[in-house]
Each structure stands twice: as structure tokens, then as C-alpha cells.
Chains A and B, each alone.
Chain A
Amino acid sequence: AQSVSQHNHHVILSEAASLELGCNYSYGGTVNLFWYVQYPGQHLQLLLKYFSGDPLVKGIKGFEAEFIKSKFSFNLRKPSVQWSDTAEYFCAVTPRALTFGSGTRLQVQP
């Protein structure tokens, strides 16, 4: 069965710091990969997704992610975080139903 691992459970950064959140998946076949964000009290919002092509994917709000097939990884990055990026971030993978990682809580301090 497919699974998704997010190793960073809680990350605290200062504004303007760079961000990288890890995501690894286990599935031998072709996968589609996603990062979602959940702001406090709100529902999930798609940040970016990878289906095929350029493994460096750019999403909304300045986020990007790189798919490294050999490492089964899809890490999320942002060069300079803002206080408004404080949220829960979920990595997810298909091909069947979306399977979510456990989430990473990001806290950005002003």
C-alpha cells in the first residue's frame, strides 16, 4: 500500500528564513504528488501538484517543490517565509485515493 511520510512535525522559523519541508512516499508505480496547506480554521487549499514533466514545480504564494524520483521525495520549499505562512502543510500522493502524510505544523515568528 502507498504511504506518505512527513518527518518534520513542527517547524518554527523566523520571518525571512528559508523553508524546506520533507515528504517521502512509498509506492513503486507512477504517482501524482501534491502539497496542501490548511490555515487555522480553514479548509485545505492546494499549493502545488506534480503529475509529470519538469520535476521542479512552482505553486502559489511563492512555494515550490522538487520531485526526486530516485529518493521517492517531494520536498516543499520557500526561500523566505512570512508570518502569514503559519499553517499546517500536508503532502499527499495518488494514484488511488489521495493518501496524506501526517502533516507539518509551520509556525513563523515575526
Chain B
Amino acid sequence: GAVVSQHPSWVICKSGTSVKIECRSLDFQATTMFWYRQFPKQSLMLMATSNEGSKATYEQGVEKDKFLINHASLTLSTLTVTSAHPEDSSFYICLAGGPDTQYFGPGTRLTVL
């Protein structure tokens, strides 16, 4: 099956710093990337949907100025957590593809101290 990678796989940062997470589709073109967040012992919650070359659509309650999403190419989308705080500590997962064919990235564990 198709492969989606995320980098870094885990990151620890200080409160107030920004963290960039990359999601790459390695062997297919992902016109749509979805970003999810999973808190411990909870389900995946959709944060935003991005289409290549256009602005991301954020779910209700997700701050677009805090979670910057860029989908500049068909193989790369980035999520930047700006001015991270401990409550942003979570597991961030990208989903590349579309409604009928989608592939998850392995996820990025973010810990904000």
C-alpha cells in the first residue's frame, strides 16, 4: 500500500516555542491532507483539512492562527504548532489522500514542557 511518513516521530519542546511537523506521501500524490489529534485514551479528532494550493479548512474550536497548515505540494503538508503550551501535548496524525483512499502517517508525539 501507499506510504505516508511523518517527521519528526516525536518531539519535546519548551512552552512558547513553535514546532513544525511534516507529512509526506512517498509514492502517491495526495490532493487532500487531513490533520488529526489524539489525546491519551481518546479518539482521533479532526483538526483541519487542507487541499494542495489552497487554505486549510479548520474544524470548530481549532485555532487557525495557532495551528498553521501548509500544503504547498501534492506530496507534502506541514503543521506548525505556534507558541506551544503543555495542553498542546498530544499525538498528531496526518491522513493523506481522499475520502475513498486514504493512508495514515505513523504520527508525531508532541510533548510540551
Contacts and interface: CB of A to CB of B under 8 A. Distances in A.
Interface of A: 32, 43-44, 51, 90, 94-103
A98 B43 contact: no
Contacts of A101: 43
Contacts of B106: 43
A44 B43 contact: no
Across the A-B interface, the 6 shortest Cβ-Cβ residue pairs: A94-B99, A100-B44, A100-B43, A103-B43, A43-B106, A102-B43
B42 A102 contact: yes
A97 B44 contact: no
Contacts, number: 39
Interface of B: 34, 36, 42-46, 49, 93, 95, 99-100, 102, 104-107
B42 A99 contact: no
Contacts of A51: 100
A98 B105 CA distance: 14
Given A32-B99, A97-B34, A90 B43 contact: yes
Contacts of B46: 97-99
Given A43-B93, A43-B107, A95 B44 contact: no
B93 A95 contact: no
A79 B59 CA distance: 38
Contacts of A102: 42-43
